[in-house]
Amino acid sequence: MIPSIVVFIYLAIVLYIGIFAFRRSTGSREDYFVASRSLGQWVFLLSLFGTNMTAFAILGSSGMSYQRGIGVLGLMASSSAIVIPLTIFFIGTRLWGLGKKFGHMTQVQYFRDRWQDNHLGTLIFAMTAIMLIPYIIIGVMGGGEVMQSLSSNPVLDAEGKAVLGADGKPLITSWVSYELGSALVALVVMGYVFFGGMRGTAWVNAFQTVLFLVFGGIAVYLISTKLGGFSGIMDKMAESKQLAPLLSRERISQTEFFSYLFIPLSAIMFPHIAIMCMTAEKVTHFKKTVIFYPLCIAAIWVPCVYLGVLAAQLFPGLTPGETNGVIPMLLTNYTEVWVAGILGAGIMACVMATDSQIMALTTMFTQDVYAHYFKKPGVDRLQEDHRQVWAGRAFVIGIAVVSWLIAWALHREAGIFELAIRFAFSGFAALAPIMLAALFWKRSTAAGAWAAVLWVTFAMIGSAWLHTSSEALVATLKPGVMYTQIYPALGDLFLRSRGGVTVYGFLPVMWMTLVCAALMVVISLLTRPPKAEIVDKYFPPKIPAPTPAT
């Protein structure tokens, strides 16, 4: 029970941080939703990084590494370390400036004003909200996995030997079930987001980021030492025919590897990243973020990928859903109980970074739907702020409950990594050309954005349907065979791998992004350009420098 008790203490601490932030709040909508745009440099850096490092980064990456090897580090971490800091620097700073100048709190507010189209804004809100929910569910799932794994023990017989189940595996009992653990995480996150708003979320994220940055190196050192050292572990895996492929890129094709270069573009369109960018006190706060972001990614992803590969040697035969919990399993089996509790709190810190997604979705709902469509005329500023803040808090409760119910239904059914890539990252990455066009292309039009968003919507639906309808084909894949044709009459157009559906071997995200960009450009050029006053508002003409007097 000791590891679980340590995690309970950690949960109490973060809940208190949210309540303390509530005491510092002014009660205004700008304070609740964007922390009065006043976050300091280090809190901004740590909270922005923590916002993007959820259960996907720790549990998802280790679970996928268990299945496919160290190549997972190249799939996401290497490209993200370059692309995400660049997007924060070029996109985030511009969003910060426009938000401060025109009072925008969300992307949708900017899109509505930029293209003068309310319905387009509503469509983008609906699309991004639907894709953000799986990201929130991932955090709740991860919390349940961690709590259950840290409180697990094998069932022993009278002689102290492990009791085996019908499948030949030891029976495990947990005093904190997955359902209870995920509910507890959802409740705690709901609590400090409800009270603290964006300031509470940012403070908790900063605290959690420090915790899980320290976690990785300590966990790798302790577990590797217990098992005989890094070199000995790697040599043993290299000698095994089953495990050696995990030390190479053998289980990841070149086309799939290339496709993953498009995934980090999702950072441009993630609402939690965009909204967090608007909370900085000064634009200079972005400088250190760009410098330190790649280092933080390495500090998280390298240990997690290594531990995932190591778990494949120690716990063979896990299902994709079970691989979500390999790091907590390593902690409970190969570290002291109090160490497992402290490091378990570090994992929980990363898992609970999903609070930013809940805060972002709440801000979008309140500003893009509630305030936009249901604003009462004649209500003074203070009353309107009060109404919006409490509408946001009610939404926090609703989304936390819905996320827990879905996470409960998906237990053991899906890997966190695949769930994130398939339903969250791909859709946001495909929408990236819309953000780029809105910010940097004067000639972009609402019609072009409509075409691009509708294309991504139908492409996501089609991709999900192909994935679901072809799940039975995975069982037909022989060892060493990566793909099978979904429709043999169409040749290699739609292929099914263990990871999901591909199009000519490439992930759907690549084709969705390229077609989205093409539609944005072509349709914009074929339709009437935006009004001059709107262009001048967001792209003010440069005033020529005065000619020096002669």
pLDDT per position as a tens digit, 21-60 = 887 877 788 888 888 888 888 888 888 887 777 667 777 7
SS3 content of the chain, % helix, strand, coil (to 5): 75, 5, 20
Q: CA–CA separation, 17 vs 485, rounded Å?
A: 52
- Residue 325 CA, distance from chain mean position: 17
pLDDT value for 30: 85
Asked whether the predicted pLDDT for residue 550 surpasses 60, the reply is no
What angle separates helix 178-226 from helix 337-351, to the nearest 10 degrees? 120
* Percent over 90 (pLDDT), the chain: 17
Given a contact cutoff of 8 angstroms between Cβ atoms, the answer to whether 416 and 56 are in contact is yes
145 in helix, strand or coil? helix
Given a contact cutoff of 8 angstroms between Cβ atoms, the answer to whether 223 and 315 are in contact is no
Given a contact cutoff of 8 angstroms between Cβ atoms, the answer to whether 403 and 186 are in contact is yes
What does pTM read for this prediction? 0.84
Closest to 364 (Cα-Cα) out of 113, 115, 105, 186: 105
| Band of residue 435 on the pLDDT scale cut at 50, 70, 90 | very high
Closest to 244 (Cα-Cα) out of 233, 255, 258, 256: 233
pLDDT value for 20: 83
Asked whether the predicted pLDDT for residue 66 surpasses 60, the reply is yes
Burial of 249 (0-12, 13-18, 19+ CB in 10 A): middle
The string of DSSP codes covering 170-232 is: BPEEESS-HHHHHHHHHHHHHHHHHHHHHHHHHHHHHHHHHHHHHHHHHHHHHHHHHTT-HHH
pLDDT per position as a tens digit, 383-418: 788 888 888 888 888 888 888 887 777 665 555 556
pLDDT value for 418: 62
Rg for the chain, CA atoms, rounded: 24
For 108, list phi and psi in degrees, rounded to 5: -65, -40
Q: CA–CA separation, 298 vs 78, rounded Å?
A: 8
pLDDT value for 164: 65
pLDDT per position as a tens digit, 507-516: 899 999 999 9
122 in helix, strand or coil? helix
Closest to 212 (Cα-Cα) out of 304, 274, 134, 289: 304
pLDDT value for 165: 64
What average pLDDT score do residues 296-307 get? 87
Closest to 197 (Cα-Cα) out of 349, 57, 367: 367
Q: Mean pLDDT over all residues of the chain? A: 83
- Pick from 258-267, 477-486, 537-546 the range whose average pLDDT is largest: 258-267
The two structure tokens encoding residue 531: 């009004």
Name, in order, each residue with C-beta under 8 angstroms of 8's C-beta and a sequence gap of 6 or more.
Answer: none
Closest to 147 (Cα-Cα) out of 484, 443, 481, 407: 407
What average pLDDT score do residues 501-508 get? 90
Which of the four CATH numbers 2.60.120.10, 2.40.30.110, 3.40.50.720, 1.20.1730.10 does domain 2-230+269-374+399-425 have? 1.20.1730.10
pLDDT per position as a tens digit, 157-202: 666 566 666 666 666 666 777 788 788 888 888 888 888 888 888 8
Q: How far is CA 105 from CA 59, 145, 271, 458, 500, in A?
A: 31, 34, 10, 28, 36
Asked whether the predicted pLDDT for residue 545 surpasses 60, the reply is no
The string of DSSP codes covering 376-412 is: PTT--HHHHHHHHHHHHHHHHHHHHHHHHHHHHHTTT
Q: CA–CA separation, 62 vs 224, rounded Å?
A: 15
Beta bridge partners of 162: 156
Between 529 and 408, name the one with better pLDDT: 529
The two structure tokens encoding residue 9: 């203490």
For 18, list phi and psi in degrees, rounded to 5: -65, -40
pLDDT value for 176: 76
| Band of residue 527 on the pLDDT scale cut at 50, 70, 90 | very high
State the amino acid at position 545 in one-letter form.
A
Asked whether the predicted pLDDT for residue 355 surpasses 70, the reply is yes
Q: Which residue has the tokens 């932030």?
A: 21
For 227, list phi and psi in degrees, rounded to 5: -100, 10
Q: CA–CA separation, 429 vs 467, rounded Å?
A: 19
pLDDT value for 481: 78
Q: Which residue has the tokens 């009270």?
A: 195
| Band of residue 111 on the pLDDT scale cut at 50, 70, 90 | very high
The distance in angstroms from the start CA to the end CA of the chain is: 84
Domain locations along the chain = 2-230+269-374+399-425
Q: CA–CA separation, 478 vs 309, rounded Å?
A: 22
pLDDT value for 443: 94
Q: Where is average pLDDT lowest: 330-334, 339-343, 430-434, 480-484?
A: 339-343
